[in-house]
Amino acid sequence: MVIIKDICKSFNGKRVLNSINLDFRDGEILTIVGKSGVGKSVLLKLVVGLIDSDSGSINVDNILLDKNTVYDIRKKIGFVFQSSALVESLPVEENIGLALRYIYNLDDDTIKRKVIEAIRMVKLDEKVASMYPSNLSGGMLKRAAIARAIILRPKYIFYDEPTTGLDPIVARAIEDLILTLNNKLNTTSIIVTHDINSAVGISDRIAMLSKGEITFSGMVDDFNKTENQYVKEFKDAYFLKQEK
Ligand SMILES: Nc1ncnc2c1ncn2[C@@H]1O[C@H](COP(=O)(O)OP(=O)(O)O)[C@@H](O)[C@H]1O
Ligand SMILES: [Mg+2]
């Protein structure tokens, strides 16, 4: 379980996160929704120690995040970046196996076996292994990025806007994959997105981030029914945009 307690973060004197309290519960799919620029990506990066908080604490499985524990904590978390963040000069199989080669120094055969296993798990064709990122579609890139995130069998997987920029059919397929992986690998999946539909479709629980605070959190049913003003405004803005 991840316990985020009273986390504050400012950039250049501007408060982005103002005393965030939120738990990530074992086994769940939690989606954090909120408008662009509200601090969703910053929140995920804080938990893996890519950004330091100004105050507050983060505990991951009873380990307090600090500069001594950050690498142990990172091993528990697979991160799928919004940009997919593959190295363009390396074929897909090298990208997926990067951590196995450079952090764990595994031998070539073991790496190959684990990479192929990951490629199958994300339902990519094995032919993709030797291809370069620039020759992949958006959906394939996302699958490759997910394969890289799961290669160490992390307990947690963080997905930053996993469906943003994908066409609706591909987006639904990626959501199905997230759901399948969460069940198969027994992971806890945290998704941040500004896309309500994707949030409601596969999540157990939804938290809403607005004005630097968690302004709502509850099960999907509660999210659908709530009279919470922030959630209502967010839904109205979202569906208005969809109609245009
Ligand atoms: N490394 C950084 N340096 C300065 N400002 C940042 C940095 N990262 C994020 N921000 C600012 O923090 C705010 C929240 O960003 P972000 O978490 O990326 O929003 P989103 O909810 O769209 O993911 C934005 O105003 C952004 O400009
Ligand atoms: Mg973001």
Ion ligand 2 neighbours (CB, 5 A) are: 40-41
Structure confidence by residue, pLDDT tens digits, 120-153: 999 999 999 999 999 999 999 999 999 999 999 9
Q: Does this model's pTM top 0.85?
A: yes
Residue 116 has which token pair?
Answer: 């192929």
Structure confidence by residue, pLDDT tens digits, 62-71: 999 999 999 9
Question: Ligand 1 pocket, 193 CB below 6 A?
Answer: no
Question: Ligand 1 pocket, 49 CB below 6 A?
Answer: no
With a cut of 80, say whether residue 161 has pLDDT above it. Answer: yes
DSSP 104: S
Predicted confidence at residue 244, as pLDDT, reads 57
DSSP 12: T
With a cut of 60, say whether residue 16 has pLDDT above it. Answer: yes
Nearest Cα residue to atom 17 of ligand 1 = 39
Closest CA to 78 of 139, 160, 3: 160
Question: Ligand 1 pocket, 36 CB below 6 A?
Answer: yes
Element (H, E) at 60: strand 55-60
Nearest Cα residue to atom 3 of ligand 1 = 11
**Contact indicator for 152, 71 with CB cutoff of 8 Å:** no
For ligand 2, the distance from its centroid to the CA atom of residue 111, given in whole angstroms, is 31
CATH number of 2-243: 3.40.50.300
How far is residue 34 from each of residues 4, 102, 157, 199, measured CA to CA in Å? Answer: 18, 36, 19, 11
Predicted confidence at residue 238, as pLDDT, reads 77
The mean per-residue pLDDT over the stretch 171-195 comes to 95
